[in-house]
Amino acid sequence: MTKRNFDIVIVGAGAVGLTAALSFAQEGFRTALVGSLETRRDGRTVALFDGSVRFLEALGLWPTLEKHSAPLATMRLIDDTGSLFRPPPAEFHASEIDLDAFGWNIENATLLEELAAAARKQEGLTLIPGMAAGFEGVGDAAWIGLADGEVLNADLVVAADGRHSKLRQQAGIEAKTWSYPQSALTVILAHDRDHRDTSTEFHTRHGPFTLVPLPGRRSSLVWVTSTENAERLAGLDDAHLALEIERQAQSLLGAMRIDGPRGVVPMSGLSVSHYYAPRLALVGETAHVFPPIGAQGLNLGLRDVAALRDAIVDAREEGLSPGDDMALRQYQRGRDIDVRSRTTAVDSLNRTLLSELMPADFLRGAGLLAINGIGPLRRAVMREGVLPRIGAPRLMQRST
């Protein structure tokens, strides 16, 4: 069988792999994407923050995605832990940091469908619907073995094959994994009252219960709770589940109706020692996983892609190939602090909710009071959560 040659082969056609494939093909690299483009509705949405939206805008994808998205103009936090140090509800408005919205919420399956539609039309991008079975990076080339026996040659392979990544294992990159005694129930809801572009997060003893707006009188729910409770909720019929959700939401959005399939996702985490091996770069959940708190996961995955794009474009300007060690080292330097700090922040918030120790309750309560009450701190925290940091990838910066 003849081998096909590419500059870059991406493995995994999730949101991160699809965006990577579109981005590298648009830069003129001969690109292939290995993976299935089929999607399935799972009651999940993703909130995309400012930097992600800028990146998708730069790739010409945002006008279509925006039509399916709802803006998050206000974020409301309600402490529902029953703690002695319970702060009053806090509201944060995007206008306070000169934004129209903190982010935009879109159904996961719709995002994937639109990215796949764009990929099918993208010049310079070859779609290979099979599964990758083997990887090896040696000298100045890498090869990918497909499940049907075909072999692809590439200068750089990008592993976007998710948390159980075979490529990461075959490259010998160590991953640390951990789990939480929680699962997230995910479902899309229709409701009687307008959400007013407001996302509401109730902090409960078992984790956050978060309602995020969708277009119209619809919202998505991520209910992080004990695994037994998530399974019990998932087993209820639509009417009883809607009633329990309305009760937990303190009837904020009026009567609820279940509008689509539901999912239960066990909470776990993963971090890696390295973001690259010879001729291989890790992006998205191949490199980092944490609980769906603060809507960070995919935003971080898109930052991986935008940072890798900068590194390989810079390498090309130096006359180097995309898989050159210099490009991969630049990529690693850019990702390390960003990924580590987000992983720690999400993990710490989750653990203070789970802990019933008074000092943890006090710190969380005092922290929210301070953030809510001190103007400059309040704005700094809002910016930190949603705006790209200094040194962010070029296509995510506000000046572009």
Ligand X SMILES: Cc1cc2nc3c(=O)[nH]c(=O)nc-3n(C[C@H](O)[C@H](O)[C@H](O)COP(=O)(O)OP(=O)(O)OC[C@H]3O[C@@H](n4cnc5c(N)ncnc54)[C@H](O)[C@@H]3O)c2cc1C
Q: Which is nearer to ligand X, 13 or 249 (CB)?
A: 13
Q: Which is nearer to ligand X, 219 or 299 (CB)?
A: 299
Asked if residues 220 and 41 have their Cβ atoms less than 8 Å apart, the reply is: no
Tokens of 247: 């009760």
Region 208-267 residues binding ligand X, contact defined as CB under 6 A: 222, 265
Asked if 13 interacts with ligand X (CB under 6 A), we say yes
Length of the chain in terms of residues written: 400
Residue with tokens 């497909």: 146
Asked if 349 interacts with ligand X (CB under 6 A), we say no
Least spacing, CB of residue 178 vs ligand X, in Å = 16
Least spacing, CB of residue 265 vs ligand X, in Å = 4
Asked if 158 interacts with ligand X (CB under 6 A), we say no
Least spacing, CB of residue 180 vs ligand X, in Å = 12
Judged by CB under 6 A, which of 8, 9, 10, 16 binds ligand X? 16
Judged by CB under 6 A, which of 58, 77, 281, 295 binds ligand X? 295
Q: Which is nearer to ligand X, 46 or 77 (CB)?
A: 46
- What is each CA distance from 19 to 14, 90, 119, 313, 376, in whole angstroms? 9, 35, 9, 16, 35
Least spacing, CB of residue 170 vs ligand X, in Å = 10
Least spacing, CB of residue 375 vs ligand X, in Å = 27
Asked if 132 interacts with ligand X (CB under 6 A), we say yes
Region 271-290 residues binding ligand X, contact defined as CB under 6 A: 284-285
Asked if 71 interacts with ligand X (CB under 6 A), we say no
Asked if residues 198 and 101 have their Cβ atoms less than 8 Å apart, the reply is: no
Least spacing, CB of residue 362 vs ligand X, in Å = 29
Q: Which is nearer to ligand X, 15 or 175 (CB)?
A: 15
Least spacing, CB of residue 304 vs ligand X, in Å = 8
Least spacing, CB of residue 160 vs ligand X, in Å = 5
Of the candidates 139, 145, 75, the one whose C-alpha atom is nearest the C-alpha of residue 325 is: 139
Of the candidates 347, 391, 313, 387, the one whose C-alpha atom is nearest the C-alpha of residue 53 is: 387
Asked if residues 133 and 127 have their Cβ atoms less than 8 Å apart, the reply is: no
Task: Kindly write down the DSSP assignment for every residue of 333-374, as one continuous string.
Answer: HHHHHHHHHHHHHHHHHHHHHH---HHHHHHHHHHHHHHHH-
Number of Cβ within a 10 Å radius of residue 316 = 17
Judged by CB under 6 A, which of 34, 77, 211, 328 binds ligand X? 34
Q: Which is nearer to ligand X, 315 or 339 (CB)?
A: 339
Q: Give the Cα separation of 110 and 87 in Å (integer).
A: 37
Q: Which is nearer to ligand X, 15 or 312 (CB)?
A: 15
Q: Give the Cα separation of 162 and 160 in Å (integer).
A: 6
Kindly state the DSSP code that residue 43 receives in the 8-state scheme: S
Interface map 162-181 toward ligand X (x if CB under 6 A): x---x---------------
Q: Give the Cα separation of 101 and 364 in Å (integer).
A: 25
Q: Give the Cα separation of 342 and 352 in Å (integer).
A: 16
Asked if residues 51 and 23 have their Cβ atoms less than 8 Å apart, the reply is: no
Choose the binding region for ligand X from 44-52, 74-82, 343-351, 373-381 (rule: CB under 6 A).
44-52
Judged by CB under 6 A, which of 44, 191, 335, 342 binds ligand X? 44
Rounded to the nearest 10 degrees, the angle between the axes of helix 15-26 and helix 50-58 is: 40
Q: Coil, helix or strand for 58?
A: helix
Binding site for ligand X (CB under 6 A): 11-17, 34-35, 44, 46-47, 131-132, 160-162, 166, 184, 186, 222, 265, 284-285, 292, 295-299, 301
